Structure formats: C-alpha cells, structure tokens
C-alpha cells in the first residue's frame, strides 16, 4: 500500500464515518431522551434517499401516502383521547401539529412532484417528508408506551423496523436507486485528489453537529431535552412535558436520518433494505460513546468508517466481521472502566 | 333419512375427488428479502399464467413467498406437499433455498423445477437430484461464454469482484475453471456485500493488480456499485458483468458508466436482434410480448423467463403424465418426473431444453448470447 491508496481509503473512511456519525447522534439522542433504541433509523435513511430518487423521476414517492395515512391515524388517536378525557383545550394545537402540518407537506409534494423542480427544492421536500414521519411515529407507537421498560421499547422498535422495511419494498421496489452528485468538482491537496462530494458530506455533517451543539447549549427546547435525558422525573417536576420532549426528539432524529439519506444517495446505490446495516454501523459508533456521549459517538463512528474502509482493502471477505467485532473490546473496556449502576425499571 | 345422508356424503366425496383432479403446482419464490429483485418478476410471470388448462385439466399455481430465507423455503415446500397436495414444486429463486428443498421433494417423491442458477442443484445425478430440474442456465455455461469473449478480446489477466454469498462464490469457482481452460490468469479476487455503501478498498486493490479485464459477480442493481467505482477510479480495461444484471433497473443505476460493459445473457433479453430462424426467437417473443404488455415496455428480465420456462416444460410434460395416472397420485408424479426428464427440443424464453438422466437442465449454447451495453441499451454481439 502506498501513500495515495492510503489517502484514498482515509478519505472514503471519513466520508462514510461522517454519515455513520449523523446516525450515531440520532441514536444517542433518541436513547437518552426516550430510552428507545431507534432500530428503524436505517429505514429513515433509505426513505430519505429513495424519496429523493422518486422525486427525481417526477413521481410522488410512496412515503407521501405513508405520511398521509399516519397523519390521519394520529388525528383519530388524538380525537379519541380528547373524547375519553373530555379535554378539548389542547386538541386544536395537536391536530394542527399531527394532522394539518403533515397533510400540508403531503399535499405540497403531490402537487409539486410532477413539475421538474430544482435539485435543492427536491432535497428540501425529501427532508420535510421524512422528518414529518418522525413525530407521527412517536405519537402512534411510542407515546402510549412511554413508561414501558427498555426491553419492551426495543422489541417495539424491532417491530417498527420490520414494518417500515416491508413498506419500503412496497413503495420503492426491490431494486436500488442512486441520486445525482451534488457537485462534480474535485480539488487537489498535494498528491491527493479530494472529491467535492466527500468534502460536502463532511461539511454538512460538521454543520449539523454544530447546529445541534448550539441547539442543546443555547435554546430553551434544547435544554429541556437535556434535562429530560438527565432525569426524566425531575424534568417533569419542573414542567418539561415528556410528550413534547419525545416528539421533538423524534423530529430531530428523523431529520438527521433524512439528511444522512440525502448525503449517502450520490455515493452509493441504496436499496429498500440498505438502512439496517448502515444504522448498525452507526450503532457501533454510538456504543463506543456508551449511548450517552455525543462527541464520543461521532468519534466512534469515524473510527468505524476508517476501519471499514481499510479492512475492505486488506480483507474484503471479512470486512463486516472486523467492524462488528470491534464492539466486543469496546464493551469489555467500558464495563471494566465505568461504574455500573442499574437503572430502576 | 340415513340413506339420504349417506348419498349426500358420497356425493360430497365425489365432488371433492373431482375438485382435486385439478393439477396443483406449488410455487415458492423469494418475492421479498435480498433476492426480491429476482423473485418479483417470477411472481409477476405466474400472475400472467393464471390457471391455464393443460391436457384438459385445470392447473392451479399456488404461489407463496419464502422471503429469500432457506428455512422458510423448506417450510413452504413441506406445506405445499402435505396440505395442498401439489404434484410438482417450482422454486425457489435462489440457490441455497433450492439446495435445501431437494431433500424434502426427494423424500416425498415430488418433482421440483428450481429457478436458481447453480449447477450444484442438479449435480451429480443421484437419488436426491433424481427429482430435481432447473430452468436457468448453469453458471458454467455462462462463465465459459465470458472466458471465450475475454480470449477473443486479447485478455491475459483478469480480476474478479463478487458478492460475498452463494452467487458470488459460485461464479468465482466457475470463472476460475473457465479462465484456466482459456489460458487467462485470475490475478485478484475481491468480495463485497450487496448493501455495502462503498467498495473503494476492494476496487483499489483490484486496480493495483492491473488486470486486463474485470468480472463483476453480482446480480441486479448492487452489481453497479463496483462498476461505477472502477470507472470513477479511471479503470481502462474491459468490464464484464454476469447475466444476473439483466434488468432495466441495472441500466438505470449504472447510467453512462455502463457503456461498453459485456455480459452473457439469456437470448430473450435481446430477442428482437436475433437473426430470423434462431431457435429461441419465437418462444422468447411470445413471453416478452405478454409480459411487457402487462408490466410496460422494457420490464422484461431473464428471471421472469426462467419461471415461464418452467411453465413451458410442464405444458408438454403434463399431458404425457396424464396418460399414466390421475393427478394427485404417486403414479402421476413419477410419470411427470419421467416426462420432464424426457423433454426434447422444448423452446423456452431463455433457450432450448434437451434433458436426459444426466442433465436436468438441458440447455446448450443456444441459451446464451453475449450482450454489450451501449447508451443504456442491450446490444447483441454477433
């Protein structure tokens, strides 16, 4: 291996690592606030890419139908809840959030899809659709189970993963799609050629991570989420609504996944079932961060990306084995160095 | 009153017997899961076939999904045989499933027509494979075509990158054998998974070995990933694909990077370009016209053709078997097996079958053509 190959592999590893990092952040965020292991994160990624690919072909993507269906279902649940509790005061806001907003997005996409839109508009529409799925999923699936044990939440997540996987096959078919590159530009540093696409992926990821940092550090909602993550009961006592926290978390996580999907589209072919493996690698990154630390999760994901890239060069047949075996020494090291305290379930 | 009941019972029994005189064909396909891109056109094909009359008998195709999963395929096979009392099994889409199903059909003595590629499914001829037939071309037939084409293009060294699964392994084995016969050296072999986001590492390693040609052993759109990477890294040699990529989705995903790619394929892919008088032209046209009539122009895949060919074999074998026994009986199934084994000059969508006890596939060179991708179109190489 000479320097140019090592440089190419590093670049490839960092690009993939940046995408895994976004997923790892989504996983850590969701777990910290709601204790849900966000297994379907991979499906949000594939929905992102494939929705964009469908928009490129001028077709309204299948996810629009899903969005409409979930919005109506969430509306029905809210109505039923209001009827049972005879509590009408909050209903208009909730209906506006869970029904009107998603239906507006769905309507806009249906109307705009056949027009040949500019690429950036298609990207924005894609992110809007997939992000809107997040809070609806929380409302319908996780909110009624908010007090359940981690194990129950995990099992439900696996079920959601399979449901979304099947829907993905139905919406997008078995074959994969690619989206066009954001830029064909490339530039040189010394002997090394860096593709504009890779640079953009890394820049986008960094910008998103920075934005999240500001959100959690400077805004009231961000602080409320942090408070919920630290101590759910305490946060509730000082007036942070767990429903709001959960809903906001899923919105953010869905957005992170959708952006990953848009970023990964030009680099690789994405299939309806690609998401699970990608999210699993993000999960390995998140585990390195102990599912609590954002910087460690991002660094862990970068490590996963690099390890994957170099092992695909040295021993392509054992690539996945090497990446997933990484989790064993990490878990050993973590269980030896951290104090163990069982959370009361 | 009692006798009335007895008559009713007898009549009901008789009606049941009449109903079961239908011929039931059990079909297990990988319509979901990793092999869905192969299984879906096969499923579509059986939807086109419906419930036709063959030899004066209604034939029901009972199609179920095995999720590309071996255990599921075996379970489906058992269920079809024991509950639906099928006379013949078609499937499954992929090699591992088909291999596992052989034990079940051999034990129950039900003939089976596999739609998967590997020659291992029907070889060697022994009591287990006695009941098993297959319609897709053997990988060895296709690998020979690749090696011959490479030789003609002056290729001395080749690299291989393929799926890290049964498909990729089987092709690697076959191409090594064919290449050796043709005097071509395999200088690099790499693996990847169909869902890998990147194959940069493998491609760099291939390029370092500087092969004259590279064969990509993948199926469907995932086979485009290494090809796009090779082109992006400036590979100038010939790129070969396998017949697993023969669908329009591959052309869509590979785009302009696919120009000049060579691959062996079933003749139905380019039947319009075949010379008049070609043995397969008419039978391929028949299938493609019906299929594209329903699913749109350009929707043909050779995988759907394998399903159609299984139907074509049955169309000729069932009338023969009906002479020897009633559907649903052991005698009928044995006769059906014998009739399948004696299929002679049966023209299907992908080639002409001539089976015998030692060859339960029966394809010859008429079942393969070399095709080149030019500007998003399949072009027959003369």
CA dist B276 and B269 (Å) reads 16
Q: What is the mean pLDDT of residues A60-68?
A: 90
CA A53 remoteness from chain centre: 18
CA dist A246 and A249 (Å) reads 5
CA dist B184 and A160 (Å) reads 50
- Subunit contact A175:B220, Cβ cutoff 8 A: yes
Q: What is the mean pLDDT of residues B110-131?
A: 90
Give ∠ CA A291-A293-A295 in degrees, rounded to 5: 125
Parallel, antiparallel, or unpaired: how do β-strands B238-241 and B53-54 relate?
A: unpaired
Q: What is the pLDDT of residues B239-271, one digit of tens each?
A: 999 998 888 888 988 989 999 999 999 999 999
Nearest chain B CA: its distance from A207 CA (Å): 22
Q: Which residue has the higher pLDDT, B97 or A176?
A: B97
Alpha helices, DSSP H, located in chain A: 3-34, 41-56, 62-85, 91-95, 101-112, 119-137, 150-172, 196-218, 220-230, 232-237, 242-264, 275-288, 294-314, 319-325, 327-337
> Percent of chain B at pLDDT above 70?
95
Taking only Cα atoms into account, the Rg of chain B, rounded to an integer number of angstroms, comes to: 22
ipTM: 0.72
E runs forming strands in A140-191:
186-189
Nearest chain B CA: its distance from A95 CA (Å): 36
Q: What is the pLDDT of residues B22-72, one digit of tens each?
A: 899 999 999 988 888 889 999 999 999 999 999 889 999 999 999 889 999
The structure tokens listed for B201 are 């590492």
Burial class of residue A178 in the structure, from the number of CB atoms within 10 Å of its CB (0-12 exposed, 13-18 middle, 19+ buried):
buried
- Subunit contact A174:B208, Cβ cutoff 8 A: no
Find the residue in A nearest to B35 (Cα).
A174
Mean pLDDT (chain B) is 90
- Give the burial string for A93-104 (b: 16+ CB within 10 Å, else e): ebbebbbebbbe
pLDDT band at A344 (very low <50, low <70, confident <90, very high): very low
Please give the helix or strand (H or E) that residue B374 lies within, else none.
strand B369-374
Find the residue in A nearest to B161 (Cα).
A316
> Percent of chain B at pLDDT above 90?
69
Question: Is the distance from CB of B64 to CB of B27 less than 8 angstroms?
Answer: yes
- Chain A environment of B194 (Cβ under 8 Å): 271
The class of domain B140-265 in CATH terms is: alpha beta
CA dist A66 and A103 (Å) reads 11
Cis status of the peptide bond prior to B124, with omega within 30 of 0: yes
Q: What is the pLDDT of residues B12-23, one digit of tens each?
A: 555 544 444 689
Write down the pLDDT at residue A345: 43
CA dist B269 and B38 (Å) reads 15
Find the residue in A nearest to B190 (Cα).
A316
- Chain A environment of B220 (Cβ under 8 Å): 174-176
Task: Look at chain A and count its residues.
Answer: 345
CA dist A257 and A137 (Å) reads 14
- Subunit contact A313:B202, Cβ cutoff 8 A: yes
Q: What is the pLDDT of residues B262-317, one digit of tens each?
A: 999 999 999 999 998 888 999 999 999 999 999 988 889 999 999 999 999 999 99
Please give the helix or strand (H or E) that residue A301 lies within, else none.
helix A294-314
Q: CA quadruple B287, B290, B295, B297: dihedral positive or negative?
A: positive
The closest CB to that of A316, out of B195, B202, B250, belongs to: B202
Residue whose structure tokens are 């109903």:
B19
Of the candidates A220, A227, A183, the one whose C-alpha atom is nearest the C-alpha of residue A201 is A183
From residue A261, give the alpha-carbon distance in Å to each of A53, A113, A131, B160, B230.
11, 19, 12, 30, 23
Find the residue in B nearest to A277 (Cα).
B195
Spatial strand order of the sheet with B185-192 comes to B185-192, B157-163, B213-217, B238-241, B262-265, B369-374, B377-380
- Subunit contact B191:A309, Cβ cutoff 8 A: no
CA B204 remoteness from chain centre: 32
Nearest chain A CA: its distance from B271 CA (Å): 24
- Subunit contact B190:A166, Cβ cutoff 8 A: no
Nearest chain A CA: its distance from B118 CA (Å): 21
Find the residue in A nearest to B163 (Cα).
A317
Please give the helix or strand (H or E) that residue B99 lies within, else none.
helix B95-108
Residues of chain B with CATH 3.40.50.2300: 2-137+293-365, 140-265
- Chain A environment of B252 (Cβ under 8 Å): 177
The closest CB to that of B193, out of A8, A169, A320, belongs to: A320
The structure tokens listed for B243 are 């017949």
- Subunit contact A274:B34, Cβ cutoff 8 A: no
CA dist B361 and B353 (Å) reads 7
Question: Is the distance from CB of B200 to CB of A12 less than 8 angstroms?
Answer: yes
CA A89 remoteness from chain centre: 33
The closest CB to that of A317, out of B164, B199, B255, belongs to: B164
- Concatenated DSSP letters for B293-341? HHH-TT---HHHHHHHHHHHHHHHHHHHHHTT--TTSHHHHHHHHHHHH
Nearest chain A CA: its distance from B196 CA (Å): 8
CA dist A260 and A265 (Å) reads 9
Question: Is the distance from CB of B142 to CB of B240 less than 8 angstroms?
Answer: no
Mean pLDDT (chain A) is 88
- Taking one residue from A and the other from B, the number of pairs with CB-CB distance under 8 angstroms is 101
Nearest chain A CA: its distance from B215 CA (Å): 16
Query: Could you count the other beta carbons within 10 Å of the beta carbon of residue B171?
Result: 26
Find the residue in A nearest to B206 (Cα).
A313
CA dist B319 and B57 (Å) reads 9
Tell whether A274 is within 8 A of chain B (Cβ). yes
CA dist B4 and B151 (Å) reads 79
pLDDT band at A333 (very low <50, low <70, confident <90, very high): confident
Tell whether A312 is within 8 A of chain B (Cβ). yes
pLDDT band at B201 (very low <50, low <70, confident <90, very high): confident
Does B164 have pLDDT greater than 90? no
Nearest chain A CA: its distance from B255 CA (Å): 10
The closest CB to that of A309, out of B198, B222, B255, belongs to: B198
CA end-to-end span of chain B: 78
Parallel, antiparallel, or unpaired: how do β-strands B132-134 and B157-163 relate?
A: unpaired
CA B37 remoteness from chain centre: 12
Q: What is the mean pLDDT of residues A24-51?
A: 92
Alpha helices, DSSP H, located in B27-94: 36-49, 70-82
Q: What is the mean pLDDT of residues B193-198?
A: 80
DSSP class of residue B92 equals: -
- Subunit contact B40:A9, Cβ cutoff 8 A: no
Domain B2-137+293-365, architecture per CATH: 3-Layer(aba) Sandwich (3.40)
Nearest chain A CA: its distance from B191 CA (Å): 5
The closest CB to that of A16, out of B197, B224, B225, belongs to: B197
């Amino acid at each position: 291996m000479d320097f140019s190959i090592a440089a190419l592999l590093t670049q490839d590893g960092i690009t993939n690592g940046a995408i895994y990092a976004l997923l790892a952040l989504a996983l850590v965020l969701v777990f910290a606030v709601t204790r849900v292991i966000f297994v379907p994160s991979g499906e949000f990624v594939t929905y992102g890419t494939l929705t964009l690919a469908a928009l490129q072909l001028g077709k309204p993507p299948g996810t629009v139908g899903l969005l409409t269906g979930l919005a109506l279902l969430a509306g029905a649940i809210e109505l039923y809840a209001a009827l049972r509790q005879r509590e009408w005061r909050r209903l208009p806001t909730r209906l506006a959030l869970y029904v009107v907003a998603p239906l507006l997005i769905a309507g806009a996409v249906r109307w705009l899809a056949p027009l040949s839109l500019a690429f950036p508009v298609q990207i924005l529409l894609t992110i809007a659709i997939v992000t809107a799925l997040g809070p609806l999923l929380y409302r319908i699936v996780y909110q009624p189970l908010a007090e359940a044990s981690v194990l129950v939440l995990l099992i439900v997540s696996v079920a959601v993963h399979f449901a979304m996987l099947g829907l993905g096959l139905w919406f997008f078919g078995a074959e994969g799609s690619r989206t066009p590159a954001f830029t064909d530009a490339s530039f040189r540093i010394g002997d090394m050629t860096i593709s504009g696409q890779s640079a953009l992926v890394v820049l986008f990821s960094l910008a998103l991570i920075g934005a999240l940092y500001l959100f959690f550090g400077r805004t009231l909602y961000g602080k409320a989420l942090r408070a919920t993550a630290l101590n759910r009961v305490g946060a509730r006592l000082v007036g942070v609504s767990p429903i709001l926290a959960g809903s906001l978390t899923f919105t953010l996580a869905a957005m992170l996944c959708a952006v990953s999907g848009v970023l990964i589209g030009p680099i690789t072919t994405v299939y309806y079932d690609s998401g699970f493996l990608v999210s699993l690698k993000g999960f390995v990154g998140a585990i390195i961060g102990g599912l609590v630390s954002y910087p460690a999760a991002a660094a862990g994901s970068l490590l996963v990306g690099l390890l994957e890239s170099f092992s695909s060069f040295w021993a392509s047949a054992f690539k996945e084995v090497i990446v997933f075996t990484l989790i064993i020494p990490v878990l050993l090291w973590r269980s030896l160095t951290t104090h163990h305290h069982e959370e009361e379930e | 009153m009692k006798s009335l009941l007895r008559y009713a019972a007898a009549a009901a029994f008789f009606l049941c017997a009449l109903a079961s005189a239908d011929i039931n064909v059990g079909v297990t396909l990988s319509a979901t899961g990793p092999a869905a891109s192969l299984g879906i056109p096969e499923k579509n094909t059986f939807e086109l076939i419906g419930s036709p009359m063959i030899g004066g008998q209604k034939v029901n195709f009972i199609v179920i999904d095995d999720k590309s999963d071996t255990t599921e395929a075996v379970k489906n096979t058992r269920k079809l045989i024991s509950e639906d009392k099928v006379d013949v099994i078609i499937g499954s889409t992929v090699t591992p499933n088909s291999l596992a199903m052989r034990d079940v059909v051999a034990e129950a003595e039900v003939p089976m027509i596999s739609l998967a590629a590997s020659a291992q499914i029907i070889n060697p001829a022994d009591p287990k494979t006695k009941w098993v037939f297959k319609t897709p071309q053997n990988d060895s037939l296709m690998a020979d075509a690749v090696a011959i084409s490479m030789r003609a293009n002056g290729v001395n060294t080749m690299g291989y990158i393929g799926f890290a699964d049964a498909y990729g392994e089987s092709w690697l084995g076959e191409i090594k054998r064919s290449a050796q016969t043709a005097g071509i050296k395999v200088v690099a072999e790499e693996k990847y998974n169909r869902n890998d986001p990147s194959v940069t590492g493998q491609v760099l390693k291939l390029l370092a070995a500087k092969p004259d040609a590279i064969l990509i052993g993948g199926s469907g759109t995932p086979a485009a990933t290494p090809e796009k990477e090779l082109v992006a890294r400036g590979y100038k040699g010939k790129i070969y694909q396998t017949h697993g990529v023969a669908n329009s989705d591959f052309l869509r995903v590979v785009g302009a990077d696919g120009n000049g790619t060579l691959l062996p394929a079933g003749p139905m892919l380019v039947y319009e370009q075949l010379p008049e008088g070609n043995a397969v032209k008419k039978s391929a046209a028949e299938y493609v016209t019906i299929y594209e009539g329903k699913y749109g122009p350009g929707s043909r895949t050779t995988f759907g053709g394998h399903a159609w060919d299984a139907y074509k074999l049955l169309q000729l074998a069932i009338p023969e078997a009906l002479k020897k026994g009633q559907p649903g009986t052991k005698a009928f199934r044995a006769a059906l097996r014998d009739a399948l084994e004696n299929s002679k000059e049966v023209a299907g969508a992908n080639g002409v079958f001539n089976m015998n006890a030692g060859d339960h596939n029966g394809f010859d060179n008429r079942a393969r053509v070399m095709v080149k991708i030019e500007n998003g179109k399949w072009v027959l190489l003369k």
